[in-house]
Structure 1
Amino acid sequence: MEILFFCTRWGSEELKWADFSRKVKDAGFDGVEASLPLHPGDQENMMESLSKYDLKLIGLHWDTVTHNFGRHKAEMEQRLFALAAIDPLFITSHTGKDHFSFEQNIELLSRAEEISLSTGVPVLHETHRGKFSFAVHQTKLFLERLPWLKLTLDISHWYTVAESYLQDQHEALELALFHTSHIHSRVGFTQGPQITDPRYHEWQEALQHHLICWDKVLNIQKNEGAQFFTFTSEFGPYPYMPSAIAANAVAGCQWDLNNYMKDLLKGRYTNHLTKYYAG
């Protein structure tokens, strides 16, 4: 099973696409995870730059935030179709709202699946605060109702919402891991979605809880015969990045952390395959 590593565009929006793509390629990433630029010229620059540097694309849908359900659904449809039209590897979607009803979120998830089937572009749904999947126990209900549902796992959100590493929610967590098809490799903890630095001694417990779950996901995917699996390094800028860091150092620090996560996981899963997921 091939492991592919992606870099988030989040936090680097000030860079021209050509400069960003060259930087990503030089760092050893296989591709970029990004939302669709609003301006057609920027979309063209993105696609040309990714092609020039032979970088794959994961589409990101996060920008449907309307609280009115009818308008929300229409905007989601528009954005998913637009992303699918540029033929990404798949789309990660921030789907629904935590305050929508269960049936309303089911309607959104079902519509996203219809769009996926009609376009041929898989739509994965990110585990995220504020969305249908804001907590592991809630996500379990959707997975039981919609067994075809596939997740982008950002487990940092669940640790924060539950204020625990989910030791007491084993059944719900295991079900979610079986439905995970992509991972956002940001490290959070029980009081926030992003630690300061995964290289620091005081954050090793949090890092290990993430790695245990990620190991399990790769083991599941390998045993199911997946041809490839994807990680996106997704440490974010301020306000995810602690504000105590000097403003002019935040961008560099974010880049360093995302590179570190890529190299850590590449070493863990590419060079020591059998140790961490033997099947």
Structure 2
Amino acid sequence: MTSNYHLNDGSSLPPRMELQQSWWAMIGLGENGREWTMEEKFERIAAAGFTGISATMPSEQDILEWHRLLDKYQFTFSTVAFPSSKSDMGDILETVKQFGRVQYINSQVMDAFVVGDKAVQLLQELLEASADAGIPHFIETHRGRITQDLLRTTDYVRALPQLQLIIDLSHYVVAGELDGAGSRAEAEFEVLLERTAGIHGRISNGEQVQIDIGKSGSHPMVDHFKRWWKKGMRNWYANAVPGDILSFVPELGPPGYAITRIVEENREIETTDRWQQALLLKQIAEELWEEVVAEAVNKSVVR
């Protein structure tokens, strides 16, 4: 039986980071007033150097097309799920098995009003179900879900040694109105980052969940997120074995995650180039990963 507590492809390759693009983040993207087609989006993602896609499970009528395009571009595929019970998880696992090709499941567990022992029990049941199925399964740190609150999520981590996280700290920065500098939340972030299984790339401030970081990543919050992401990568790498894969997914959502403004005829447009921002987040992740690997190599040489 395959453990669901980490992502491993069974190879002897050194531990590595894989860059997947969020399919949700491709909604509305295009040019000259026309959204790219499904295949055009695949083409763009491949040309940018991504090696996979993160998406909710395709509808039954779209499965063949998804299989065709995943094969054509040799993409990996991870799925986003929203379970609220062990029964839900069973249905999700059945769908995943039928589709095939699913690298791992990223769950946003429903909902924010499940707390305390009931939340811990639900998380344990979900993780046990996916472990029995042999499918890697990680829990995303997300507002409006069972992980709504930073403090309760650290409690879940302490209660469940098998709980591994898809880190998205943008939710806690905006929910806590944190500015990232000397925050008391830093120690709680450390607890979560010790369980890093993957990272969602989005940068927030204390007021907006998705901000424009500039063409070169010059926004003051960028350095804070880089520090957190690098800690997560470093923690993951320290415990990785050959064949292990860390996932990084730029996840810049369409309106209303994206900030918009109203122009003529009450038309709403985004204030940033979301695709270019995604590519910048990808570049930042690649640079951080290179630093983490170099540090590890240098440390081993010194020893």
The TM-score, its normalising length taken from structure 2, stands at 0.80
| Residue 114, structure 1, aligned to residue 128, structure 2 | yes
Q: 1:236 to 1:140 in 2, by over 3 A?
A: same
In structure 1, runs of 5+ residues without a counterpart are none
Q: 1:245 to 1:28 in 2, by over 3 A?
A: farther
The question of 1:61 aligning with 2:64 is answered no
How far off its partner does 1:7 sit? 0.5
Q: Is the 8 A contact 2:53 2:77 kept in 1?
A: yes
1:237 matches 2:254 = yes
- The residue that corresponds to 2:163 in the other structure is 149
| Count of aligned positions | 270
Q: How does 1:76-95 map to 2 (within 5 A)?
A: 76-85=89-98, 86-95=100-109
Q: 1:198 to 1:57 in 2, by over 3 A?
A: farther
Structure 1 residue 197: Cα displacement: 3.1
Change (3 A) 1:278 1:129: farther
More helix per residue? 1
The higher-RCO structure (CA 8 Å, 6+ apart) is 2
Query: By how many angstroms is 1:252 displaced?
Result: 8.2
More moved, 240-249 vs 116-125: 240-249
Specify the alignment match of 1:209 in structure 2: 224
Gaps of 5+ in 2: 1-14, 28-34
Q: Residues 43 and 250 from structure 1, CA distance in 2 versus in 1: closer, same or farther, beyond 3 angstroms?
A: farther
CA distance in 1, matches of 2:128, 2:239: 24
Give the Cα–Cα distance (whole angstroms) in 2 for the partners of residues 113 and 27 of structure 1: 34
Is 1:199 paired with 2:219? no
RMSD: 2.7
Partner-residue secondary structure (3-state), 1:79: helix
Q: Could you give the per-residue CA deviations for residues 178-230 of structure 1, whole angstroms, max 9, x where no partner exists?
A: 111100011111112111234377x6221111110111111112211243321
Bigger-Rg structure (1/2): 2
| Aligned pair partner of 2:196 in 165, 177, 180 | 180
Q: How does 1:38-57 map to 2 (within 5 A)?
A: 38=59, 40-57=60-77
Local SS of the residue matching 1:3: strand
| Change beyond 3 A, Cα 1:84–1:115 | farther
- Is 1:36 the counterpart of 2:84? The answer is no
Q: Determine helix, strand or coil for the equivalent of 1:90.
A: strand
- Pick closer, same or farther for the CA change 1:30–1:104 going to 2, 3 Å: same
Q: 1:200 to 1:26 in 2, by over 3 A?
A: closer
Mark the CA change 1:76 to 1:155 in structure 2 (over 3 Å): closer, same or farther. same
Identity of aligned residues (%): 21
Contact 1:7 / 1:24 at 8 angstroms: preserved in 2? yes
Q: Give the superposition deviation at 1:36.
A: 0.6
Question: Is this contact kept in 1: 2:166–2:198, CA < 8 A?
Answer: yes
**What's the offset of the Cα at 1:73?**
4.9
- The structure where strand makes up a greater share of residues is 2
For 2:42 and 2:91, the matched residues in 1 are separated by: 26
1:187–1:274 CA distance, 2 compared to 1 (3 A): same
Q: TM-score, normalised by structure 1?
A: 0.86
SS where residue 143 of structure 1 aligns? helix
Q: Following the alignment from structure 2 to structure 1, what is the Cα–Cα distance between the partners of residues 36 and 132?
A: 34
